Amino acid sequence: MLAEKMEKHGATGWLVKTGWSGDRYGYGSRIKLPYTRKIIDAIHSGSLLNAEYKKTEIFGFEISTEVEGVTSEILDPITTVSSLCWVCMSNHFKIL
């Protein structure tokens, strides 16, 4: 229903991860506020509408591969977690 209304009115929606990155609590860190601001600025300017994206394995989210002023590692959560953490998450979602 939401997707239909968004399409009808030409709206876009963005899921912005602004919290913890890099691994589980205690091993990672919060995403730096300047990075979050750059991502929001890119949304407001419309530059993300023309950006390149890649699709995530598990949920099929489309992640921008580049935002001016933001390191690419921050944009894809998989690049910031330890390999052990990623294996645990992958196995968990295969079960679901």
Strand, coil or helix: 18: coil
Q: Is the pLDDT of residue 10 over 80?
A: yes
Query: Mean pLDDT score of the chain, rounded to an integer?
Result: 82
Q: How far apart are CA 60 and CA 33, in angstroms?
A: 26
- CA pair distance 84, 95, nearest whole angstrom: 17
Q: What is the pLDDT of residues 21-57, one digit of tens each?
A: 776 667 777 888 999 999 999 999 999 999 999 998 7
CA distance readout (Å), 15 to 1, 71, 82: 18, 18, 23
> Which pLDDT belongs to residue 84?
54
Q: Are 64 and 30 in contact (CB under 8 A)?
A: no
Which domains occur in the chain, in start order?
A: 2-95 (3.90.228.20)
Dihedral sign (CA 36, 37, 43, 48): negative
pLDDT for the residue numbered 86: 56
The separation between CA 23 and the C-alpha centre of its own chain, rounded to angstroms, equals: 15
